[in-house]
Chain A
Amino acid sequence: MNKIFALAGVVIKELYRRKDFYVLFVLTAVLTFAASAVNFFQDEKIIRYVKDICLLLIWISSLVIAIVTTARQIPAEREARTIFPLLAKPVSRAQVIAGKFLGCWLAAGIALVVFYFFFAVIASSREHTWPVVMYFQAAWMQWCLLAVVIALVLLGSIYFAAPSSTSTISFIVVAGIMLVGGHLNTIALSQPEPMQSVLAGVYYFIPHLEWYYLSDFVVYNMGCVSWVKILAATLYAAAWTGIFLTLAWLGFRRKNLTT
């Protein structure tokens, strides 16, 4: 386990020594401040649109951080050839995959903590309340989603050598699932066969990432989701993460790496 944590540590160091995170955080902060500075009908109590915009930016930023950071991990190791001194040590390829995953996931988690703290400060400045549990649930679910996304991107990065291809495809897949994944069963009903069966099949065999978007609960102050449901969703995310990581390991295990 120490080896996995050591690998994860390097990933985290890399992320926080690059400019990506800071740029995205500053961009989120600037846009949120700009949005909150607008006075609509001289009513200073209006806040939900600011929360909505801020959470959307947090979603986009964290997704960008997770996807872009993960997509370059294995290809960059291969391109910079740092993979060779690494694999010449007593470390298995499964541990490399696990370490990369853990590093990206923890890095995304740290980013989420920073982003959500900023969000909480902005929201409480007008609402004068700290619904910490609700924020925690939203952040936790987002982190669970990022686990699935990071594992998926890691899998993609084994097969697509260019990080840009992996990032683009991952963005399309994630956005596609978020937007229409939950409606595929409805869409399937209006399609002729065999499209109907294909869409229904896809509906059952994709990770339903749309469940992990709890921003509406936070924006509209709709209270917390049952912890049992959160736990079930966490297990579902863990299962999909495991599936993608296993596939990534299977792809990476027998891959020829020639110096």
Chain B
Amino acid sequence: MKLSNHALLAGLGLCSGLLVDAHAGGGEVFCNGGQEVVEAWRNIPAGGLPWTLNTGPVGSRIAPGFEPISCAYALFPSTQITRLPGAQSVARGYRAWENADDRATGTQMTTIDFEAQPTPEGWNYLQPFFVIPSYWVAFGAEKYDGINMVSYWEPPSTFSGYGGPLAVGMTRVKANLTTGDIEEADIAFNALSNSGGAPYWSFLEENTLMNKTYVSQTADLDGGDPFADPILGYADAEGIAVHEFGHFLGLGHSLVEGKSLPSGGTCPTMFVVGHTEDYSGSAWIPDAITVCGGSATQSIDASIPATGGLVGRNLGTLQTDDNSAIGALYPSTGFTSQMGAISGTVLDGQLAGVPGAHVTAIGVSTPQTNRVGVLSMSGGQFSIEGLRPGDYYLMVEAVDEGKMFIGSDVPNYVEPGSSACVFLLPVFATEFWDVNEDVIETATMTASPITVSAGATLTGKDLKVTGANTLLVQLAGANPNTASSRGIRVVPGAGLNPSIEIRLEEQATLGGQTAYLTIVPERANTLVNGELVQTASTSAVPGFPVTLPLSLDASGKASVTIPITDALAHHAFLVQALVIRPNLTLKVSNTLTVFVERP
């Protein structure tokens, strides 16, 4: 736990409680009446964190076990569950976290340890993981049974309300609302079955007991029995299991997006969007696990190439961000003594803390693979742990909601000066820490390396960002769909003299505050010390960025049109409605990117 952060925040009178630095890629944090509470297992028995594989009867519609994940061989005694086909991939899922180590130094990062337990005698198959709400009512099943169960579910309608048949798996984590202690977690895999329970999981396992090698079943992907077409492709059981066990342990989603890096880094296992490995034509990617007997061809959406292949294969190997995150939650001695940390505060132009900013430490020598990210806390504080000794750049960027699962991945924060929990997305230009950090850069960014040493935390590495004296504020609704959002519409222009028109279409109340509209070209194609660190391209746009007072008419609405005078074909703008802090009374707004196209 970050007692230093705890003390700091408590000293500021903002909140109290159990605190850590991380949201994205780290421990989940929830806001509870003025407290920010991290979720983690804190009551792990001496033998390890118990988990149980559901070895329910074949054909059970409610809670099938793991037998049908392969070619339905005899039921093994529950004490040999890890020898069941499919179960080995699950076991690899948690062992990946047990064995999490720094890939460069070999430092073991965590003390987390699992203990497999047999399915209880006479266990009620109705209990483990009920996700169909109406089933809850119909069967009166208990929601929680104290067993951390991994199940394999059919039919796909099990996932009704949670994505339906598109969901390949799901993890449910129950935590104490006051302490954040995780009390139970369950994982369900979607059978993805359509014809007779045929699964479309991909795995390769050696069963020494039966001296057999199991692979997942095959199907004709192109033609033949239409009901045998696994239009979802294949899902890699091990990769999905590693990702789900990350959630099981309390980790949220990571925003470190390796695949957007110039030469293609690797996304963390806990990256927010599941990736599908590419394939072309009938050839699976080289590292794909062999599927039972079949070539694979699939007609894919021509406009969206490189999808429909092996889902989740890349998730099987933990990346630096994953290793650091699990170490921060359950630190080993080696994590504490051999790894380092950087801490500081994200500050705006008025030196107020900026919460919800994504701060990433980027290894100077291996920027593609050595990246660790966190979100700043309510007071703007951040602490990035689990850094192997060496030089790092420190980058802060605004969260792009479009890269998050919309709605629920951005945590709620404690609103400054109150105990209210609000949903915040600060908006500002990407910035790097440098030795002249007091100077806010608007053109070429510079970055100074920070040297991290083993067992030490470099403090005071504050990041000052421009534009963040303004915050986009949305009320935290009980459900994302209840969140308040005022309809700012951005209308792309057309014709020889294009413009963008911004209309505030819902009535707003400024509450006596000064508010602005700002239109900022997206910063990208950015060189830092000569190195390309952002990929998308943009150019300086004459007349932008522009900030205009937000003047409301008598009806509480506003409209403004800004011409675009240069000849470029496309522009991407970030449009913000802003209110000056510290009074976050204006509840706005949508942040939209608009592409202005010339005919």
**A complexed with B:** no
